[in-house]
Structure 1
Amino acid sequence: MRGGGAAPGPAAAGSEAESPTADRLRIATFNLENLGDSAQPHATLAERVRLLRPQLLRLRADVLCLQEVDAQRGSDGEPRRLDALDALLAGTPYAAFHRLTTFSRSHGGPRDKHNVVILSRLPIVNGRQVLHDLVQPPLYKAATGDGATAAITWDRPILHATLQAEAGWTLDVVNVHLRAPRAAFIEGGKASASVWRTMSGWAEGFFLAAVKAAGQALEVRLVVDQLFDADPEARIVVCGDFNADSHEAPVRTIRGDEEDAGNAHLAFRTLVPAERSLADSRRFSVLHHGRPRMLDHLLLSRALLAWYCGMEVHNEALGDEAVTPQALVGTPASFHAPLVAEFRVAAD
């Protein structure tokens, strides 16, 4: 299991987090936003840990999916390590959880930036990274810039773990971080790092970003259907930062819709957004120019939905990512709210 790093054992002494019960299961997701990126201004790692750790403890999660975990360079010749994540988890139950993380195919260690990570109290019996394993990069000839033809590759892998409880049941967790709707790189399209030469160039970059998100979503859907092929009653949760609302194309692609497909018999292969059980006033994980948006999701298979009790979105202290004053650009906070869903495990 690449990047598995299993760390079984009792919860850390003195932790404030509640110990899990035999019949309760809490699954959470949280985009930490560039954890460990030394290029970020102002906020130190210590400040970030001080602010983020209470948020993790409040989740009381048995399974925790994280996004945007950067890796730090070790000694010469050694792969990068997730030192910042280790510092954040120190003294919490999560430090003793089993771990699966994305990795670089070139050097085998964690990717430099934006790793996705699965932490689990339950043993991880199988884990894999999926990046163009099921969908090959499409070739595209640019209409602007230098007009080059290049492959459109996804920004980040998908991470899939199969967890197994002592009672024998299994849970498939798919952790995703889809491309944000920001214009992608076009060779020769920019005058500087943040300035496009033409509006057409920006528009093409924005189009390519949509292609990347759609392609990632398609590959996630193929992973989900593989799981349903192996077990039609599979308990599956797809969670993470989708950078899209539930009605937008990337999320619709992943969750599926028997009405879109024109086949009612496919209803058992659809995934249900857990946030549908929340009041509209609580249904947001990001604020953008004062507009609340639900960009982070937990999508549940019908078999897992049978155990579902409810969901929390910890958005009380959420800042607006678009209008934060320049002095707070380096805030230690994340502009994503953590999400957690609770389940009551029933005997089969």
Structure 2
Amino acid sequence: MNEMRLATFNLENLDWSPGRPEAFARRRAALLPLLDDIDADILCLQEIDAQKTSKHGPRAYLALDRLFDGTRYAGFHRFTSLRPGADTPADVHNLAILSRWPIRIRRQIHHEIVPPWPWPPPRDGDVTPPPIAIGWDRPMLYAAVELPDGRLLHVVNLHLRAPRPVPVPTARGEGSSRALIEGQFVAALKREGQALEARLFAETIFDAEPDALLAICGDFNADEHDAPTRLLRGGRDQGEDAPRALLALEERVAPASRYTVIHAGRPTLIDHILASHALAAMWRSTAILNAGLQDEFYAKDPIDGSLHAPVMAMFEISG
């Protein structure tokens, strides 16, 4: 049997500093066993910081290079995100797709389908607040990977905004209850708006290839019942038999182990691998590597490893 192992892993602000080599060494020592256990052929990563090559130099993926130096992943094909509108990475929260096999198409998507828009906050007494721009915090990545049998696997790597209030200026001040309420609403618009863009992008793939092998992977900052996940799955309310519905492969793990983050003692599933029907037909197993996962609410800096558990799905392929 020929296997393909597809995984997603939030690396929790992976960083490196020449002044703190011991801190990075501890993180690397905690992350590498997980990455070895995943043994991925295609790996979607989130929360990768980029470091300056010199005091005034551009940012580059120095931490990522050091993480994979000397490992099986060092020779993988790599596609990484850029700050929208720039030719260098953002300082934090970048994305990467690594693949054992060639990446034939690479595309960064940021407001290509759903444009940014202004949201006018409601009046507060005699004050009319200025509009607030609704835009995504970061792009998403799309890669078409050529499998050994010549077929293309379409992979989307996505990291949606966390559901924390966005700072919103109001006449009552940023710390007021009104500002927090409106900020929570703006965060929802950002999170669900980008989920909509990812799902509409998936629709374009299905338009061109109805039986596409498609996976949407990443940190959705949403559990299986939240609106972003429902948007991305598409057709859930019609049932999983809907032709373009995406199937949640992480939900095939036993309930007791079905979580990727622990928050204040509550296990939560916010990292996902969604698969098209054609890809799910090749599925054989799913694993969530959450043994020993720290509770993110109580964890103290510096964090060793990650506060997210990686998710890996294994498929049977030909060729």
* Same fold, judged at TM 0.5 (above): yes
Partner residue of 1:332 out of 286, 304, 312: 304
**Matched residue of 1:226: which SS?**
helix
Q: How does 1:3-22 map to 2 (within 5 A)?
A: none
Let me know the Cα RMSD of the aligned residues: 2.3
Residue identity opposite 2:31 in structure 1: L
Which piece of structure 1 moves more, 296-305 or 179-188? Answer: 179-188
Q: Give per-residue Cα distances to partners, 1:288-326, cap 9 Å, x unaligned.
A: 1111110000000000011100100000110111123xx
Structure 2 equivalent of residue 245 of structure 1: 223
Structure 2 CA distance, aligned partners of 1:256 and 1:246?
Answer: 12
Instruction: Describe the shift of the 1:73–1:269 C-alpha distance in structure 2 as closer, same or farther (beyond 3 A).
Output: same
Residue identity opposite 1:315 in structure 2: N
Instruction: Describe the shift of the 1:209–1:265 C-alpha distance in structure 2 as closer, same or farther (beyond 3 A).
Output: closer
Q: How does 1:295-314 map to 2 (within 5 A)?
A: 295-314=270-289
Structure 1 CA distance, aligned partners of 2:190 and 2:171?
Answer: 18
Q: Give per-residue Cα distances to partners, 1:21-80, cap 9 Å, x unaligned.
A: x71100011000111166xx9982222111111111111000000000010112366431
Residue 226 (structure 1) aligned with residue 204 (structure 2): yes
C-alpha contact (below 8 Å) 1:43/1:330 kept by paired residues: no
**Matched residue of 2:206: which SS?**
helix
Structure 1 equivalent of residue 69 of structure 2: 90
C-alpha contact (below 8 Å) 2:9/2:310 kept by paired residues: yes
C-alpha contact (below 8 Å) 1:79/1:107 kept by paired residues: no
Residue identity opposite 2:218 in structure 1: G
Q: How does 1:49-88 map to 2 (within 5 A)?
A: 49-75=28-54, 78-88=57-67
Q: Give per-residue Cα distances to partners, 1:221-270, cap 9 Å, x unaligned.
A: 0111011011001000100000111111000001112535xxx8981100
Which piece of structure 1 moves more, 62-71 or 107-116? Answer: 107-116
Structure 2 CA distance, aligned partners of 1:95 and 1:265?
Answer: 38
Q: How does 1:3-42 map to 2 (within 5 A)?
A: 23-36=2-15
**Matched residue of 1:127: which SS?**
strand
Structure 2-normalised TM-score? 0.92
Unaligned runs of 5+ in 2: none
Structure 1 equivalent of residue 185 of structure 2: 207
Instruction: Describe the shift of the 1:190–1:292 C-alpha distance in structure 2 as closer, same or farther (beyond 3 A).
Output: farther
Structure 1 CA distance, aligned partners of 2:172 and 2:47?
Answer: 26
**Matched residue of 1:221: which SS?**
helix
Q: Share of identical aligned residues, percent? A: 42
Structure 1 CA distance, aligned partners of 2:13 and 2:95?
Answer: 11
Structure 2 equivalent of residue 17 of structure 1: none
Structure 1 equivalent of residue 138 of structure 2: 156
Structure 2 CA distance, aligned partners of 1:23 and 1:211?
Answer: 42
Structure 1 equivalent of residue 176 of structure 2: 198
**Matched residue of 2:36: which SS?**
helix
Residue 291 (structure 1) aligned with residue 266 (structure 2): yes
Which piece of structure 1 moves more, 107-116 or 232-241? Answer: 107-116
How far did 1:119 drift?
0.3
Structure 2 equivalent of residue 117 of structure 1: 96
Structure 1-normalised TM-score? 0.85
C-alpha contact (below 8 Å) 2:148/2:318 kept by paired residues: no
Partner residue of 1:319 out of 294, 299, 319: 294
Residue 137 (structure 1) aligned with residue 116 (structure 2): yes
Structure 2 CA distance, aligned partners of 1:77 and 1:339?
Answer: 37
Unaligned runs of 5+ in 1: 1-21
C-alpha contact (below 8 Å) 1:288/1:320 kept by paired residues: yes
Partner residue of 1:281 out of 256, 259, 265: 256
Structure 2 CA distance, aligned partners of 1:293 and 1:210?
Answer: 18
Structure 2 CA distance, aligned partners of 1:78 and 1:103?
Answer: 16
Structure 2 CA distance, aligned partners of 1:59 and 1:96?
Answer: 16
Which piece of structure 1 moves more, 138-147 or 305-314? Answer: 138-147
Structure 2 CA distance, aligned partners of 1:68 and 1:339?
Answer: 15
Residue 184 (structure 1) aligned with residue 166 (structure 2): yes
Structure 2 CA distance, aligned partners of 1:220 and 1:237?
Answer: 11
C-alpha contact (below 8 Å) 1:43/1:331 kept by paired residues: no
Residue 341 (structure 1) aligned with residue 313 (structure 2): yes
**Matched residue of 2:59: which SS?**
coil
C-alpha contact (below 8 Å) 1:42/1:331 kept by paired residues: no
C-alpha contact (below 8 Å) 2:240/2:247 kept by paired residues: no
Structure 1 CA distance, aligned partners of 2:189 and 2:149?
Answer: 42
Count of aligned pairs between the two proteins: 314
Residue identity opposite 2:130 in structure 1: A
C-alpha contact (below 8 Å) 2:28/2:305 kept by paired residues: no
Q: How does 1:253-264 map to 2 (within 5 A)?
A: 253-257=231-235, 259-260=237-238
Instruction: Describe the shift of the 1:148–1:231 C-alpha distance in structure 2 as closer, same or farther (beyond 3 A).
Output: same
